[in-house]
Amino acid sequence: MARRTGTNRRRGRVAARGSWLALVAATTLGDAVDTLSAEVRADGLSEGDYRLVVQSYDRKAGRALGSRVRPVGSAQRAVTADELRAGVQVRVLELRERDGSAPASDKTPYVVAWIEAGSPDLEFNGLTARPRPGSVYGVVKRAARQEAVQISLNRTVAA
Protein backbone atom coordinates (compact mmCIF):
# COMPACT_ATOMS: atom_id res chain seq x y z
CA MET A 1 0.00 0.00 0.00
CA ALA A 2 1.30 3.45 -0.88
CA ARG A 3 2.32 5.65 2.00
CA ARG A 4 0.71 9.10 2.18
CA THR A 5 3.16 11.94 2.10
CA GLY A 6 2.89 15.04 4.29
CA THR A 7 1.55 17.02 1.35
CA ASN A 8 -1.18 14.49 0.60
CA ARG A 9 -2.17 14.27 4.28
CA ARG A 10 -2.46 18.07 4.49
CA ARG A 11 -4.50 18.26 1.28
CA GLY A 12 -6.88 15.62 2.67
CA ARG A 13 -7.31 17.58 5.92
CA VAL A 14 -8.09 20.80 4.03
CA ALA A 15 -10.68 19.08 1.87
CA ALA A 16 -12.28 17.31 4.82
CA ARG A 17 -12.68 20.56 6.79
CA GLY A 18 -14.41 22.54 4.07
CA SER A 19 -17.12 22.52 1.49
CA TRP A 20 -17.20 20.98 -1.96
CA LEU A 21 -15.44 24.13 -3.16
CA ALA A 22 -12.58 23.45 -0.72
CA LEU A 23 -12.38 19.87 -2.03
CA VAL A 24 -12.15 21.04 -5.65
CA ALA A 25 -9.59 23.72 -4.75
CA ALA A 26 -7.46 21.29 -2.73
CA THR A 27 -7.35 18.71 -5.51
CA THR A 28 -6.60 21.36 -8.13
CA LEU A 29 -4.20 23.66 -6.28
CA GLY A 30 -2.77 21.39 -3.59
CA ASP A 31 -0.87 23.15 -0.81
CA ALA A 32 -1.87 26.61 -2.07
CA VAL A 33 -5.26 26.10 -0.38
CA ASP A 34 -6.22 26.16 3.28
CA THR A 35 -9.40 26.57 5.30
CA LEU A 36 -9.95 28.87 8.26
CA SER A 37 -12.89 28.56 10.62
CA ALA A 38 -14.08 31.76 12.30
CA GLU A 39 -16.71 32.19 15.00
CA VAL A 40 -18.08 35.73 14.88
CA ARG A 41 -20.07 37.29 17.74
CA ALA A 42 -21.62 40.69 18.34
CA ASP A 43 -23.78 42.11 21.12
CA GLY A 44 -25.82 45.28 21.32
CA LEU A 45 -27.08 45.21 17.74
CA SER A 46 -30.51 46.40 16.67
CA GLU A 47 -32.78 43.77 15.21
CA GLY A 48 -32.53 43.29 11.48
CA ASP A 49 -30.63 41.63 8.68
CA TYR A 50 -26.91 42.16 8.17
CA ARG A 51 -24.18 41.33 5.69
CA LEU A 52 -21.27 39.62 7.45
CA VAL A 53 -17.88 39.71 5.70
CA VAL A 54 -14.82 37.80 6.98
CA GLN A 55 -11.39 38.26 5.38
CA SER A 56 -8.02 36.70 6.25
CA TYR A 57 -4.62 38.23 5.55
CA ASP A 58 -1.11 36.73 5.67
CA ARG A 59 0.50 39.90 6.92
CA LYS A 60 -0.43 43.22 8.35
CA ALA A 61 0.50 46.07 6.05
CA GLY A 62 -0.85 49.27 7.48
CA ARG A 63 -4.39 49.47 8.76
CA ALA A 64 -6.47 46.52 7.65
CA LEU A 65 -9.57 48.50 6.93
CA GLY A 66 -7.99 51.07 4.65
CA SER A 67 -5.24 48.92 3.25
CA ARG A 68 -4.66 47.94 -0.36
CA VAL A 69 -3.39 44.53 0.70
CA ARG A 70 -5.40 41.75 -0.91
CA PRO A 71 -6.87 39.14 1.43
CA VAL A 72 -5.87 35.50 0.95
CA GLY A 73 -9.36 34.39 1.90
CA SER A 74 -12.82 35.81 2.33
CA ALA A 75 -16.45 34.89 2.83
CA GLN A 76 -19.71 36.76 3.16
CA ARG A 77 -23.18 35.74 4.24
CA ALA A 78 -26.48 37.05 5.46
CA VAL A 79 -26.97 37.00 9.26
CA THR A 80 -29.40 38.33 11.84
CA ALA A 81 -28.71 40.10 15.12
CA ASP A 82 -29.91 37.00 16.98
CA GLU A 83 -27.47 34.77 15.11
CA LEU A 84 -24.59 37.14 15.87
CA ARG A 85 -25.44 37.17 19.59
CA ALA A 86 -25.30 33.35 19.60
CA GLY A 87 -22.17 33.19 17.41
CA VAL A 88 -21.94 32.55 13.68
CA GLN A 89 -19.58 29.92 12.24
CA VAL A 90 -17.95 30.91 8.94
CA ARG A 91 -15.51 28.87 6.86
CA VAL A 92 -13.05 30.89 4.81
CA LEU A 93 -11.26 29.30 1.86
CA GLU A 94 -7.72 30.73 1.65
CA LEU A 95 -5.91 30.76 -1.71
CA ARG A 96 -2.19 31.55 -1.67
CA GLU A 97 0.52 31.66 -4.30
CA ARG A 98 1.00 28.40 -6.16
CA ASP A 99 4.06 27.47 -4.04
CA GLY A 100 1.69 26.95 -1.10
CA SER A 101 3.73 29.11 1.20
CA ALA A 102 2.07 29.67 4.53
CA PRO A 103 2.31 32.92 6.42
CA ALA A 104 5.96 33.44 7.37
CA SER A 105 6.80 33.69 11.04
CA ASP A 106 8.06 37.27 10.54
CA LYS A 107 4.60 38.35 9.38
CA THR A 108 1.50 38.94 11.46
CA PRO A 109 -1.43 37.02 10.00
CA TYR A 110 -4.82 38.35 11.01
CA VAL A 111 -8.55 38.07 10.36
CA VAL A 112 -10.99 40.97 9.94
CA ALA A 113 -14.78 40.65 10.14
CA TRP A 114 -17.47 43.29 9.87
CA ILE A 115 -21.20 43.71 9.42
CA GLU A 116 -23.28 46.16 7.44
CA ALA A 117 -27.03 46.59 7.31
CA GLY A 118 -28.58 44.73 4.40
CA SER A 119 -27.81 41.50 2.58
CA PRO A 120 -24.79 40.13 0.70
CA ASP A 121 -24.14 41.64 -2.71
CA LEU A 122 -23.61 39.81 -5.96
CA GLU A 123 -19.89 39.33 -5.36
CA PHE A 124 -19.69 35.69 -4.32
CA ASN A 125 -17.14 35.80 -1.50
CA GLY A 126 -16.52 39.44 -0.56
CA LEU A 127 -12.85 39.38 -1.61
CA THR A 128 -12.82 43.02 -2.74
CA ALA A 129 -15.24 44.27 -0.07
CA ARG A 130 -14.14 46.98 2.38
CA PRO A 131 -16.08 48.17 5.41
CA ARG A 132 -18.02 51.40 5.10
CA PRO A 133 -18.00 54.17 7.70
CA GLY A 134 -20.24 53.12 10.58
CA SER A 135 -19.67 49.38 10.05
CA VAL A 136 -19.15 47.36 13.22
CA TYR A 137 -15.97 45.26 12.99
CA GLY A 138 -13.42 43.14 14.82
CA VAL A 139 -9.79 42.18 14.17
CA VAL A 140 -7.85 39.25 15.60
CA LYS A 141 -4.22 38.19 15.14
CA ARG A 142 -3.57 34.51 14.57
CA ALA A 143 -0.71 32.06 14.46
CA ALA A 144 0.60 31.14 11.00
CA ARG A 145 -1.07 27.70 11.02
CA GLN A 146 -4.00 28.48 13.32
CA GLU A 147 -7.12 26.92 11.80
CA ALA A 148 -9.81 28.54 13.99
CA VAL A 149 -10.35 32.00 15.46
CA GLN A 150 -12.99 33.81 17.49
CA ILE A 151 -13.82 37.38 16.56
CA SER A 152 -15.86 39.83 18.61
CA LEU A 153 -17.35 42.71 16.62
CA ASN A 154 -16.72 45.50 19.11
CA ARG A 155 -15.36 48.44 17.11
CA THR A 156 -16.88 50.93 14.68
CA VAL A 157 -15.30 52.26 11.48
CA ALA A 158 -14.87 56.03 11.82
CA ALA A 159 -16.60 58.31 9.36
* Cα Dmax for the chain: 61
CA pair distance 18, 38, nearest whole angstrom: 12
**pLDDT, position 36:** 87
Instruction: Write out pLDDT tens, residues 89-140.
Output: 999 888 776 554 555 555 678 899 999 998 887 666 788 888 889 999 999 9
Contact status, residue 7 vs residue 31, Cβ threshold 8 Å: yes
Does residue 6 carry a pLDDT above 60? no
Angle at 128 between CA 139 and CA 108, to 5 degrees: 35
Please name each of the domains of the chain with its CATH number.
31-156 (2.60.40)
Cα–Cα separations (whole angstroms), residue 47 to 44, 117, 134, 151: 9, 10, 16, 20
The residue with greater pLDDT, 14 or 144, is 144
Instruction: Write out pLDDT tens, residues 35-77.
Output: 889 999 999 999 999 999 999 988 754 455 556 778 888 999 9
Report pTM.
0.75
Does residue 88 carry a pLDDT above 90? yes
